[in-house]
Amino acid sequence: AQKITQTQPGMFVQEKEAVTLDCTYDTSDQSYGLFWYKQPSSGEMIFLIYQGSYDEQNATEGRYSLNFQKARKSANLVISASQLGDSAMYFCAMRDLLRDDMRFGAGTRLTVKP
Amino acid sequence: DTAVSQTPKYLVTQMGNDKSIKCEQNLGHDTMYWYKQDSKKFLKIMFSYNNKELIINETVPNRFSPKSPDKAHLNLHINSLELGDSAVYFCASSSIDTGNNEQFFGPGTRLTVL
């Protein structure tokens, strides 16, 4: 069974600094996708970034980048130049692309300090 | 303009009642999902529908039943509501044709069972 682990229940970062949110996963599948979602206090789920298991380069989307280390089964999210609006819950998720089965980690609450 | 919509946004009801939550997507996606997010923010998949066929049913009590009248709708019916059903329920959709395979989430429905 797939398992997603986010070991940081809460993180603090100073505005304008970079922060790394950890995510490790456990799967025996060869074909899968890794996702990060942001959930602000308003409650909606916002897609941030995606990494395919066969992608050789780390994904980047604006200030978001995904540090993908396949051998270590980790997919950490790096947010550069943090902004106050980045304060939210962040969820790591993995999707088995063949079975279309998506599992989420427990989430990390990020607080950006002014 | 709304991609995935849910109604109602809030639902407060008594234990033992039967209720429904509606979900519609206008993205032309072929797969829709229902997730439950509990008070600790843990997000768990409940159902997945692809072309009107249920392809995932995660050990969910049979009091919960998804109903899909067409590809754009996946409604969630809940019978004999219990206190433990109180949560935020998210509908989502995806398509194998979307580049990142991400799931697009609705705004969520906060269900409170008294």
Q: Which of 31-70 (B) contact A at CB < 8 A?
A: 31, 33, 40-45, 48, 50, 55-56
Phi, psi dihedral angles at B83 (to 5 degrees) = -55, -40
- Picking from A45, A34, A1, A99, the residue whose alpha carbon sits closest to that of residue B50 is A99
Nearest to B31 among A33, A47, A100 (CB): A100
Distance from CA of A31 to the nearest CA of B (A): 12
Both structure tokens of B73:
């709708």
β-partners of residue B95 are none
Q: Confidence class of residue B98 from pLDDT cuts 50, 70 and 90?
A: low
pLDDT band at residue B1, thresholds of 50, 70 and 90?
low
Question: Looking at A72-76, A105-109, B27-31, B73-77, which range is the least confident one?
Answer: B27-31
pLDDT at residue B55 is higher than 80? no
Q: What's the number of CA atoms in the CB half-sphere (13 Å) around residue A36?
A: 28
CB-based contact B7:B74 (threshold 8 Å): no
C-alpha count within 13 angstroms, C-beta hemisphere, residue A90: 30
Token pair recorded at residue A25: 């996963």
> What confidence tier does B4 reach under pLDDT thresholds 50, 70, 90?
very high
Q: A98 at the B interface (CB within 8 A)?
A: no
The answer, for A58 touching chain B at a CB cutoff of 8 Å, is: no
pLDDT digit string, tens, across residues A37-59: 999 999 999 999 999 999 989 99
Give the pLDDT band of residue A1 (cuts 50, 70, 90): low
Which of B35, B101, B109, B110 should we substitute to test contact with A (largest number of A Cβ atoms within 10 Å)? B101
Report CA-CA distances (Å) from A41 to A44, A47, A87, A91, B15. 8, 15, 9, 14, 28
